[in-house]
């Protein structure tokens, strides 16, 4: 089942061109974010880098979109969630995760959380852990065929999630009409660090359009 949005019918060659254009900018910006918290160059270098970044910002600011990417690249047909803060190609906030899903309602991703996501010393911020769990739960629910909005998200933090290479797994537990219950876990080098349970609801507005 697709959400009742018009499909993204942008031709493949245009999407490929946009990917090649914007992807490297986000990649560079991700490294910039990392270096904002990790670089240890001297103050003169910081001042010079600041001027360089300001020059780049001035270039990009010349034309600003009127709609967010999520409003334009709607999720029917080809999925292009480029602005998403977990998986978005164009969003430097996104680690980004590459999520693999199967129609049985299971999703997984091996990913990396660097120092920009630090909360407690050496550990991933709990809100970032929740963000990732919510997203991958959403993939599992969507893969099973009935996407929904997160209604309730419950997280149990079992141990600190160390910065570095991590894994997340999510799976659908059960469905009942407009509601889907799914579970997920983040796994670090010492085992499960956080567990989540989410209740996903097909929103009323979409139910009415489908009725
Ligand atoms: C491959 C794919 C990739 C796709 C990958 C995409 C991944 C994206 C993942 C990110 C997901 C998000 O962050 S989503 C954003 C965060 N979530 C939100 O902003 C949601 C905000 N809340 C809402 O929009 C709404 O409150 C809803 C949709 C949750 C529910 O509104 P509604 O549809 O009007 O609900 P309503 O008719 O009152 O109730 C319907 C039934 O749901 C129950 N219900 C209502 N609210 C809740 C609730 N919060 N938690 C539990 N259950 C609830 C009611 O008891 C009722 O049960 P009964 O009486 O019928 O038994």
Ligand 1 contact via 152 beta carbon (within 6 Å): yes
Shortest CA distance to 210 belongs to which of 169, 178, 175, 167?
178
pTM of the model: 0.94
Average pLDDT, the chain: 93
Distance of CA 79 to the CA centre of its chain: 13
pLDDT of residue 3: 54
Q: Would you say 73 and 65 are in contact if contact means Cβ atoms under 8 Å apart? A: no
Q: Per-residue pLDDT averaged across 15-33, rounded?
A: 96
* Separation of alpha carbons 138 and 147, rounded Å: 7
What is the pLDDT averaged over residues 132-136? 98
The phi-psi region of residue 160 (left if phi > 0; otherwise alpha if psi is between -120 and 50; otherwise beta) is beta
Q: What pLDDT does residue 1 have?
A: 40
Q: Which atom of ligand 1 is nearest to the CA of 149?
A: 14
Q: In which band, very low, low, confident or very high, does the pLDDT at 77 lie, cut at 50, 70 and 90?
A: low
Provide the percentage of residues in the chain whose pLDDT is more than 70.
93
Residues 188 and 177: their CA atoms lie apart, in Å, by 34
Location of structure tokens 């270039």 = 59
Ligand 1 centre distance from Cα of residue 131 (Å): 16
Alpha helix ranges (H) inside 39-111: 43-60, 69-72
Q: What is the mean pLDDT of residues 46-57?
A: 98
Confidence of residue 63 (pLDDT cuts 50, 70, 90): very high
The residue extents of the domains of the chain are 1-96, 98-210
Give the mean model confidence (pLDDT) for residues 73-98.
86
Nearest to 178 by CA among 194, 207, 155, 202: 202
Adjacency order of strands within the sheet including 164-176: 100-102, 106-113, 164-176, 179-188, 191-201, 149-157
> Which residue among 151, 168, 179, 203 has the greatest number of ligand 1 atoms within 8 angstroms of its CB, and so is best to mutate?
151
**72 burial class (0-12, 13-18, 19+ CB within 10 angstroms)?**
middle
- Ligand 1 centre distance from Cα of residue 149 (Å): 5
pLDDT-derived band at 172, boundaries 50, 70, 90: very high
Confidence of residue 208 (pLDDT cuts 50, 70, 90): confident
Instruction: Give all strands (DSSP E) within the chain, no chain letters.
Output: 100-102, 106-113, 149-157, 164-176, 179-188, 191-201
Give the residue-averaged pLDDT of 185-193: 98
What is d(CA 144, CA 137) in angstroms, rounded to the nearest whole number?
11
Distance from Cα 177 to the centre of ligand 1, integer Å? 12
Looking at domain 98-210, which CATH architecture does it have? Roll (3.10)
């Amino acid at each position: 089942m697709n959400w009742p949005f018009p499909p993204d019918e942008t031709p493949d060659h245009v999407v490929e061109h946009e990917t090649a254009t914007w992807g490297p900018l986000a990649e560079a910006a991700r490294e910039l974010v990392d270096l904002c918290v990790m670089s240890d160059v001297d103050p003169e270098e910081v001042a010079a880098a600041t001027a360089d970044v300001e020059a780049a910002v001035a270039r990009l600011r010349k034309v600003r979109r009127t709609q967010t990417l999520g409003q334009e690249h709607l999720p029917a047909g080809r999925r292009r969630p480029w602005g998403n803060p977990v998986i978005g190609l164009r969003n430097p906030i996104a680690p980004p995760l590459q999520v693999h899903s199967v129609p049985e309602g299971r999703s997984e991703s091996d990913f990396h959380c660097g120092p920009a996501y630090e909360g407690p010393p050496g550990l991933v911020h709990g809100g970032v852990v929740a963000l990732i769990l919510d997203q991958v739960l959403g993939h599992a629910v969507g893969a099973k065929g009935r996407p929904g909005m997160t209604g309730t998200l419950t997280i149990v933090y079992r141990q600190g999630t160390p910065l570095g290479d991590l894994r997340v797994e999510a799976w659908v537990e059960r469905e009942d009409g407009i509601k889907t219950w799914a579970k997920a876990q983040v796994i670090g080098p010492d085992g499960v660090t956080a567990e989540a349970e989410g209740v996903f609801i097909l929103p009323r507005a979409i139910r009415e359009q489908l009725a």
